[in-house]
Homo-oligomer: A and B are copies of this chain.
Amino acid sequence: MSTSVSTVRVDLGNRTYSISIGSGILDAPESYLGLPPSSACAIVSNTTVAPLFADRLAAALCRIYAKVHVILLPDGEVFKEWTTLQRIFDELLAAKCDRSTTIFALGGGVIGDLAGFAAACYMRGVPYIHVPTTLLAQVDSAVGGKTAINHPRGKNMIGVFNQPTRVIVDVDTLDNLPQRELIAGLAEVIKYGAIVDDEFLVWTDRNLSALIARDKAASIEGVRRSCEIKARIVAEDEREAGRRAILNFGHTFAHAIEAGVGYGGWLHGEAVGCGMLMAADLSARAGLVDRAQVERLARVVREAGLPTRPPPLGVDRFLELMRGDKKAVAGEMKFVLLDGPGSTVVKFVESGMVAATVESFTAGAGPLRQP
């Protein structure tokens, strides 16, 4: 086990939990000490991640639980829906898991969403521990307790807030992550700096190559600071009634991109990378920031290797997709906008201005599918 484990506390009253971040901590039994006692646990993973890490996690958990069940799901966002959730319930019930059974989510955001939602609903709630294996999951979905499945009418429409009991981030898992997915995860790291911590944006900018090279120290630091920022925001507003909305910076544009190309065409982080630039452009149009700040963010996003142009959806279709986003309140549209370095504001924006942003970006539209 690494000698240096960083810990981030997510302060949520009696739902407070901690995130351990380190190198080589996935299969260290001490990572799992102090969890609620139970005779059984279930590892929920997918057919891509399980061959890499499930045996190692199971070996550590065997020392704590008399029974370790493994529930294998197919890999992909397309499986983030009810029948997959039902499969988890079926297997938990077939294995006679009870209310004390602890669920371990081993995988990226989709596995976290499915296992976290299943844990919230199985016998009205069992403990769950998230072991995220993608950068995106480590810096984003590991903090805040959002779980969901998709509905034919929209992404993440059905879900609950369910805080994990603990999160274990082993940055060694990033070694197995395809480069494209690593870079997609960087979009959220860049986002944290952009919205609330300009100093962290400067740090991210300086450490881009180390992060892309999966340098352990840089990865731990990047994940730690990202989790700290998100934890602070979530602690202020667990159920997204206000402040937490700033985490959606770039996301209204991103969701339109994702929905427009079909899920799987662009990765979420790629859409967020481009979406942030569109939101920054809208911020400048609204007179909240100068063009230099927009250009600076664009440079970091570009240097990270993230797309800076949306796919060729056409302005009308793009706007229509944005209006379908669930952040709409009674038909109106709300945006998270920059109003200075590391500073953000939530504002309703006149639709002509939004159209101008979409138009200026789609004029030089990017590819329908990312390479």
Please give the residue numbers on chain A whose beta carbons come within 8 Å of chain B beta carbons, in ascending order.
39-40, 82, 86, 89-90, 93-94, 98-100, 120-125, 146, 148, 151, 153-154, 156-161, 239-240, 326, 328-330
Contact = CB atoms under 8 A, between A and B. Distances in A.
Given A123-B326, A125-B160, 6 more contacts: A89-B157, A121-B159, A122-B157, A124-B148, A124-B161, A124-B239
A234 to B, nearest CB: 13
Nearest to A121: B158
Contacts of A100: 329-330
Tally of this chain's copies: 2
Which of A39, A121, A159 counts the most chain B CB atoms within 10 A?
Answer: A121
Contacts of A159: 121, 123-124
Which of A86, A98, A123 counts the most chain B CB atoms within 10 A?
Answer: A123
Contact of A93 (B153, B156, B329): B153
A330 B98 contact: yes
Contact of A82 (B82, B122, B240, B326): B82
Nearest to A326: B123
Question: Chain A at the B interface: mostly helix, strand, loop or mixed?
Answer: mixed
A93 to B, nearest CB: 4
25 contacts: A39-B330, A82-B82, A89-B157, A89-B158, A90-B151, A93-B151, A93-B157, A98-B329, A98-B330, A100-B329, A100-B330, A120-B160, A121-B159, A123-B157, A123-B159, A124-B146, A124-B148, A124-B156, A124-B159, A124-B161, A124-B239, A125-B160, A125-B161, A125-B239, A160-B160
A148 B125 CA distance: 11
A85 to B, nearest CB: 9
Contacts of A89: 151, 157-158
B326 A99 contact: yes
A295 to B, nearest CB: 35
Which of A39, A158, A160, A240 counts the most chain B CB atoms within 10 A?
Answer: A158
